[in-house]
C-alpha cells in the first residue's frame, strides 16, 4: 500500500524552505544546489516511474501527492476499465506487472500495481500535499514550490506529473445549467447498475464513451444512444493474438502519410462498414487523426453493439432546451440520463502557466527529457497520449528525464575552470 512506502516530511533537512514571495523570474534560474531533492508533483504512474528512475541515477526524488494515496485518478475510473495495452508492455521501470493480472490489466489491478510499485521501491511519497504554484527560487538555484499549509519547498529540479486526465471537461452547452435531467461526467460513472431499465445518452465516442455505452447495454439499460460529432477510427484490440499496440509501436516513427495509407486496407479487412448504423468510415487518415490528438477507439464490444442496434448512433449534442437534448441535426430527444464522455483538461495554468511553458491549448511545449529554454530544470511527464501506449511511454520518458537530470547535475557540480 502507498502508506507503507517511505513517507518523508518535505520540509526536512535538504528540502529548503523560503519566505513567502521569494520567487524570481524564469530567466534567473541557475545552478541547482546538490543538497536539494528533485520534487515530483503527482503520485500516479508517471510520477512514480520518474521517482524510481531518478533514484536509479543516484538522484533523490520526493513525490508530492495531493490525495492520501497513490494512483488516485485510476481509483476513480469506471469499474470495467482495462488497459488497452498488454501487460508485458505496460510495466514501469524496475518492476514488471505480475502474470496473474492477465493480458489486459483491470483497473483494480493497475491500482494494486501502483501501490506495490511505491512500496517495493521504497519511494519517498508524501501524501496530502498539493502544489499550487511553481516558480524559480530567488537565489537562482532551482525551483520554489508553494504547497498545502503554506509550505514553501525548494528543489533542484521539478517533474510535473499531475496527469493527462486531470480535470473533467463538461462542455458549456447552451441550456445546460437549466437542465433538470440527470447529467454526469464520465469520471462520475462507475457501472451500469444505477441505469438499469433507463434510457441513457452517452456523449462522445472516444474509448471512454464507447466502453461506457457497451457497459450500459450489458448492464441492462433500456435504451443506449451514443452522440457522435466526428466518426472515429475503430481498431480491434487484438487480431489472432496480435495486439493493436504491437502495430502502433512498429509504425509510430513512420511518415504520417504512409501510415494513413497502410491503415485503410487493414481497417476494411478487420472492421465492418457501419455507415448504415451512423458510423461511416472516417475521411481523414488514422495517423493524421492521432497527430491531431485523437486516438483510435479500441473495440471492446462497440462494433457488435452498433451492428445489432443495441447502441444507437445519434448526432452531436448542441445544447439543452425545455428538458430535452438538442442534437446537431435538429432532433430533440429525452433520455433519462446523460453521461458526458467529453474528456479532460490538463489544468496546468495555475501551476506553471506564468512560466511560458504551455501552448495555446494548455499543454506543455516540451515533454520527457526536454526542458523549456525559459525554465531549465522543469520537466513534464505524461502529457501526451501516444498510440503506442501511455504506460509504455511513461516508462521510457521517466528514464530519459532521470538521465537528463543526473547529467545536468553532474555538469553543474563540475568545478569552474580557471
Tell me the pLDDT of the chain (418 aa) as tens digits: 444 444 445 544 334 333 333 333 333 344 556 679 999 999 999 999 999 999 999 999 999 999 999 999 999 999 999 999 999 999 999 999 999 999 999 999 999 999 999 999 999 999 999 999 999 999 888 999 999 999 999 999 999 999 988 999 999 999 999 999 999 999 999 999 999 999 999 999 999 999 999 999 999 999 999 999 999 999 999 998 999 999 999 998 899 999 999 999 999 999 999 999 999 999 999 999 998 888 999 999 999 999 999 999 999 999 999 999 999 999 999 999 999 999 999 999 999 999 999 999 999 999 999 999 999 999 999 998 888 999 999 999 999 999 999 998 877 766 555 4
Q: Residue 21 has what pLDDT? A: 33
Q: How far apart are CA 343 and CA 393, in angstroms?
A: 20
Predicted local confidence at residue 415, as pLDDT? 57
Entry field: residues in the chain: 418
Instruction: Measure Cα distances from 32 to 29, 35, 186, 340 in Å.
Output: 8, 9, 42, 45
Cβ–Cβ < 8 Å for 374, 26: yes
Write down the pLDDT at residue 26.
Answer: 34
C-alpha cell at position 15: 528540502
What are 207's three cell numbers? 474509448
Q: How many CB atoms lie within 10 A of CB 2?
A: 25
Whether residue 68 contacts residue 75, with contact meaning beta carbons closer than 8 Å, is answered with no
Rounded Cα–Cα distance for residues 103 and 109 (Å): 12
Q: What distance in Å separates the CA atoms of residue 7 and residue 309, rounded to the nearest whole number?
A: 52
Distance between CA atoms of 82 and 77, rounded to whole angstroms? Answer: 10
Q: How far apart are CA 57 and CA 399, in angstroms?
A: 9
Give the integer Cα–Cα distance in Å for 378 and 397. Answer: 14
> What distances in angstroms separate CA 130 from CA 41, 109, 280, one per listed residue?
8, 26, 45
Q: What is the pLDDT of residue 19?
A: 32
Secondary structure E strands in 161-284: 167-168, 182-185, 199-203, 223-228, 234-236, 238-239, 242-243
- In DSSP terms, 364 is beta-bridged to 358
Quote the pLDDT of residue 15.
Answer: 41
* 3-class DSSP state of 148: helix
C-alpha cell at 144: 520554489
Residues of the chain with CATH 3.50.50.60: 2-166+346-413, 169-343
The pLDDT score that the predictor gives to residue 10 is: 55
Task: Report d(CA 51, CA 119) in Å as an integer.
Answer: 12
Residue 253: the pLDDT is 85
Which value, to the nearest 10 degrees, does the dihedral of the CA atoms of residues 298, 303, 304, 308 take?
Answer: 150
* Four-way CATH pick for 2-166+346-413: 3.50.50.60, 1.10.3720.10, 2.40.420.20, 3.40.50.300: 3.50.50.60
Element (H, E) at 345: strand 344-345
> What is the radius of gyration, based on Cα positions, of the chain?
23
Name, in order, each residue with C-beta under 8 angstroms of 395's C-beta and a sequence gap of 6 or more. 49, 91, 92, 93
Give strand pairing partners of 239: 242
In this structure, the dihedral spanned by the alpha carbons of residues 212, 394, 160 and 40, taken in order and rounded to 10 degrees, is 110
Neighbour-count burial for 290-299, b at 16+ CB within 10 Å, e otherwise? beeebbbbbb
**Quick one: pLDDT at residue 35?**
76
Which is it for the CA torsion 120, 126, 129, 133, positive or negative? negative
The whole-number pLDDT of residue 139 equals: 87
Domain 169-343 has CATH 3.40.800.10: no
CB 408 within 8 A of CB 38: no
Containing H/E element for 207?
Answer: helix 207-218
Return the SS3 of 213: helix
Amino acid at each position: 500500500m502507498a502508506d507503507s512506502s517511505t513517507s518523508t516530511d518535505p520540509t526536512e533537512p535538504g528540502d529548503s524552505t523560503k519566505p513567502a514571495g521569494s520567487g524570481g523570474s524564469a530567466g534567473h534560474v541557475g545552478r541547482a544546489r546538490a543538497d536539494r531533492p528533485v520534487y515530483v508533483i503527482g503520485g500516479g504512474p508517471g510520477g512514480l516511474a520518474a521517482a524510481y528512475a531518478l533514484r536509479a541515477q543516484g538522484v533523490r526524488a520526493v513525490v508530492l501527492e495531493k490525495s492520501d494515496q497513490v494512483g488516485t485518478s485510476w481509483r476513480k475510473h469506471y469499474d470495467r476499465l482495462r488497459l488497452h495495452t498488454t501487460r508485458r508492455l505496460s510495466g514501469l521501470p524496475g518492476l514488471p506487472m505480475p502474470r496473474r493480472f492477465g493480458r489486459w490489466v483491470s483497473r483494480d489491478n493497475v491500482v494494486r500495481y501502483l501501490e506495490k510499485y511505491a512500496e517495493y521501491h521504497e519511494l519517498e511519497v508524501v501524501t496530502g500535499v498539493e502544489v499550487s504554484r511553481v516558480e524559480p527560487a530567488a537565489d537562482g538555484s532551482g525551483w520554489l514550490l508553494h504547497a498545502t499549509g503554506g509550505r514553501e519547498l525548494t528543489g533542484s529540479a521539478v517533474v510535473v506529473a499531475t496527469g493527462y486526465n486531470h480535470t473533467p471537461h463538461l462542455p458549456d452547452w447552451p441550456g445546460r445549467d437549466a437542465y433538470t435531467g440527470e447529467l454526469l461526467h464520465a469520471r462520475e460513472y462507475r457501472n451500469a447498475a444505477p441505469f438499469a431499465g433507463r434510457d441513457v445518452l452517452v456523449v462522445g465516442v472516444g474509448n471512454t464513451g464507447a466502453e461506457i455505452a457497451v457497459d450500459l447495454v450489458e448492464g441492462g439499460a433500456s435504451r443506449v444512444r451514443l452522440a457522435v460529432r466526428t466518426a472515429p477510427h475503430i481498431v480491434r484490440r487484438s487480431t489472432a493474438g496480435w495486439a493493436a499496440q504491437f502495430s502502433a509501436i512498429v509504425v509510430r516513427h513512420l511518415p504520417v502519410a504512409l501510415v494513413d495509407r497502410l491503415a485503410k486496407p487493414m481497417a476494411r479487412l478487420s472492421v465492418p462498414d457501419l455507415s448504415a448504423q451512423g458510423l461511416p468510415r472516417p475521411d481523414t487518415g488514422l495517423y493524421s487523426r492521432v497527430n491531431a490528438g485523437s486516438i483510435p477507439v479500441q473495440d471492446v464490444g462497440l462494433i457488435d453493439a452498433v451492428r445489432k442496434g443495441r447502441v444507437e448512433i445519434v448526432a452531436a449534442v448542441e445544447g439543452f432546451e425545455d428538458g430535452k437534448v438538442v442534437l446537431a441535426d435538429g432532433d430533440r430527444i429525452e433520455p433519462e440520463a446523460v453521461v458526458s464522455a467529453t474528456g479532460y483538461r490538463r489544468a496546468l495554468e495555475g501551476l506553471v502557466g506564468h512560466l511560458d511553458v504551455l501552448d495555446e491549448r494548455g499543454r506543455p511545449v516540451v515533454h520527457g527529457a526536454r526542458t523549456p529554454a525559459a525554465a531549465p530544470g522543469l520537466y513534464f511527464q505524461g502529457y501526451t497520449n501516444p498510440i503506442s501506449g501511455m504506460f509504455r511511454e511513461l516508462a521510457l520518458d521517466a528514464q530519459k528525464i532521470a538521465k537528463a537530470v543526473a547529467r545536468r547535475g553532474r555538469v553543474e557540480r563540475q568545478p569552474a575552470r580557471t
